[in-house]
Chains A and B, each alone.
Chain A
Amino acid sequence: MTVIDVNRDTEALTLTFVAEFPEPPERVWQVWADARQLERWWGPPTWPATFDRHDFVAGGESRYYMTGPDGEKAGGWWRNEIVDAPTRFEFEDGFADADGEPNTELPTTRTVVTLTATESGTRMTTVASFGSLEQLDQLVSMGMEDGMRLAMGQIDELLAA
């Protein structure tokens, strides 16, 4: 796998990743479509995800939780809006309450995934969009296990200035 391009748009608040895989789109599609494969990469190794619902059709929803090192759980949901196998998937992703149902007060992320067949396999483009700087702030601070990751990002930023 090679990440061939990353683009951060600080005005539109989008993050675009272009990656290439040697496998055909039908195979790459499975890492999204198959909940058991999805669980192996959606959460970090220290916070693995469990999808107890993954209705991977347009209008379908998914429910998952991530389990932390001390057994604590953080829930999330997807609303699957466009599901065109094996080329396009669009979904909204948000936080869930303790009962697993969507918390509508917290910010969401919208992600568009496009798979294109290439001579050598698949090009996967992922575009994540954030509603506002305040929402992005909130997402980051909620997802932060401790301040250090932010701190390290800040140092990179300072060094690159």
Chain B
Amino acid sequence: MVIQELSEAEADAIFRALADSTRRDILRRAIRHERSISSLADRYAMSWAAVQKHVAVLERAFLIVKERRGKEQIVRANLDSVRRASLLLDQFEQLWHERLDRIGDILTPPDTASPDRAPPGTASPDKEGTER
């Protein structure tokens, strides 16, 4: 799939398509394996026609493609394997960005003015100059 410049109308279609939790779930499943519309209908306890409607919205946003195979209609995510890998690695990239931010905060707490204070555990509970 090549979308060079996303028009406002196309972006609207994508956001509208992903605004619904069932459609997000359909897309997520379609990324992992192709699915038949009837198997999706079973999963969501929805009529075939209702799933078909959701699929049509995803299709208009170019997020999935549909093909007829015998009696079945099969849907799959409209992503090649490089794009799929990239999309999946994205999730881990985000995870590690957040982890590294947290490591940075542990090493250099954002609100400590003077890092040369006594290390934790050696400071006395009262503020200063408490000699026992």
Interface residues of A (CB under 8 A from B): 1, 3, 6, 8, 10-11, 13, 15, 17, 19, 21-23, 27-28, 31, 37, 40-42, 44, 126, 128, 133, 136-141, 143-144, 146-151, 153-159, 161
Q: Is A1 a contact of B85 with CB atoms below 8 Å? A: no
Flag B80-92 by CB within 8 Å of A: 1 or 0 each.
0111111111111
Range class of the B interface residue count: 35 or more
Among B18, B97, B101, the most chain A Cβ lie within 10 Å of the Cβ of B18
Q: Is A151 a contact of B18 with CB atoms below 8 Å? A: yes
- CA of A155 to CA of B50 in the docked complex: distance in angstroms? 25
CB distance from B97 to the nearest CB of A (A): 7
Interface residues of B (CB under 8 A from A): 1-4, 6, 11, 14-15, 18, 21, 24-25, 27-28, 31-32, 63, 81-108
Q: Is B104 a contact of A159 with CB atoms below 8 Å? A: no
- CA of A133 to CA of B99 in the docked complex: distance in angstroms? 23
Q: Is A153 a contact of B91 with CB atoms below 8 Å? A: yes
Given contacts A146-B21, A155-B14, A161-B2, contact A13 B85 (CB under 8 A): yes
Q: Is B102 a contact of A143 with CB atoms below 8 Å? A: no
Q: Is A150 a contact of B91 with CB atoms below 8 Å? A: yes
30 A-B pairs within 8 Å (CB atoms) are namely: A1-B103, A3-B97, A10-B89, A11-B82, A11-B85, A13-B85, A17-B97, A17-B100, A23-B108, A28-B103, A31-B103, A40-B102, A41-B106, A42-B99, A44-B95, A133-B88, A138-B32, A139-B92, A140-B88, A144-B91, A147-B24, A149-B91, A149-B94, A153-B91, A154-B18, A157-B83, A157-B87, A158-B6, A161-B1, A161-B83
Task: Name 20 extra pairs, CB < 8 A, besides A1-B104, A21-B107, A41-B103.
Answer: A1-B105, A6-B97, A22-B108, A31-B107, A40-B102, A41-B106, A42-B99, A126-B96, A136-B88, A137-B84, A139-B92, A140-B91, A146-B21, A150-B87, A151-B18, A153-B94, A155-B14, A157-B87, A158-B6, A161-B3
Of the candidates B2, B32, B104, B106, the one whose C-beta lies within 8 Å of that of A137 is B32
A residues in contact with B101, CB < 8 Å: 1
B residues in contact with A6, CB < 8 Å: 93, 97
Given contacts A154-B18, A155-B15, contact A15 B107 (CB under 8 A): no
Q: Is B90 a contact of A44 with CB atoms below 8 Å? A: no
Given contacts A21-B104, A42-B99, A161-B1, contact A153 B87 (CB under 8 A): yes
